[in-house]
């Protein structure tokens, strides 16, 4: 009985995390760059709508949700939101919705995994990782082990 209780305690955070699967990625940043963007696929396996309230990444001064819009031939970024209906997927990608990291304190290196946290509007918080591709990466860097499934092959500061 005691063993069951311990197992349950260990399993609970994992169950909570599986409500939302986030396959996040970013691009490597050139030396001296102060901003970066996180992209990726959000999958909501819960029975309720999930809305992102805040993103926390220790390597940046702050993070915000941006949407890239085209306005009379000019590209600019406006505030966006991440709202995933139950059972649906939502994709952040270059030229569209992204998580903007401002005041990045170190270069993001290709092939590394970085931890970040999502605070949801319902009060939940979940821990995730994003994997870094090359400078011109346009899609999830599939040559690196998928995030959250396999053991971390290379963890960087």
Of 21, 29, 40, 66, the one binding Cu ion (CB under 5 A) is: 66
Nearest to 40 by CA among 53, 30, 55: 55
Smaller CB separation from Cu ion, 21 or 114: 114
Smaller CB separation from Cu ion, 100 or 104: 100
Task: Kindly report the backbone phi and psi dihedral angles of residue 143, in degrees, each rounded to the nearest multiple of 5, phi listed first.
Answer: -75, -5
Q: How far is the CB of 135 from Cu ion (least distance, A)?
A: 17
Q: How far is the CB of 64 from Cu ion (least distance, A)?
A: 8
Choices 19-27, 69-77, 112-120, 143-151 (CB under 5 A): range interacting with Cu ion: 69-77
Measured between alpha carbons, how far is 122 from 134 in angstroms, rounded to an integer? Answer: 35
Smaller CB separation from Cu ion, 92 or 147: 92
Half-sphere exposure of 111 (CA within 13 A, CB side): 3
- Given its phi and psi angles, is residue 123 left (phi above 0), alpha (psi -120 to 50 degrees) or beta? left
27 is an interface residue for Cu ion by CB under 5 A: no
Q: Where are the beta strands (DSSP E) in the chain?
A: 20-27, 35-44, 50-56, 60-71, 74-79, 83-84, 89-92, 97-104, 113-120, 125-133
- Given its phi and psi angles, is residue 23 left (phi above 0), alpha (psi -120 to 50 degrees) or beta? beta
Choices 5-13, 55-63, 73-81, 149-157 (CB under 5 A): range interacting with Cu ion: 73-81
Of 24, 38, 55, 100, the one binding Cu ion (CB under 5 A) is: 100
77 is an interface residue for Cu ion by CB under 5 A: yes
60 is an interface residue for Cu ion by CB under 5 A: no
Query: Site residues (CB under 5 A) for Cu ion?
Result: 66, 77, 100
């Amino acid at each position: 009985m005691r063993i069951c209780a311990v197992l349950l305690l260990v399993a609970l955070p994992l169950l909570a995390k599986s409500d939302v699967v986030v396959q996040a990625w970013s691009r490597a940043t050139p030396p001296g760059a102060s901003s970066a963007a996180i992209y990726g696929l959000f999958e909501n396996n819960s029975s309720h709508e999930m809305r992102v309230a805040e993103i926390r990444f220790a390597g940046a001064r702050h993070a915000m949700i941006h949407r890239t819009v085209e306005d009379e031939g000019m590209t600019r970024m406006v505030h966006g939101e991440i709202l995933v209906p139950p059972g649906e997927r939502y994709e952040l990608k270059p030229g569209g919705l992204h998580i903007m990291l401002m005041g990045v304190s170190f270069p993001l290196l290709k092939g590394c995994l970085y931890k970040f946290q999502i605070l949801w509007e319902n009060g939940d918080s979940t821990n995730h990782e994003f994997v870094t591709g090359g400078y011109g990466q346009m899609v999830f860097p599939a040559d690196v082990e998928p995030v959250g499934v396999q053991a971390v092959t290379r963890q960087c500061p």
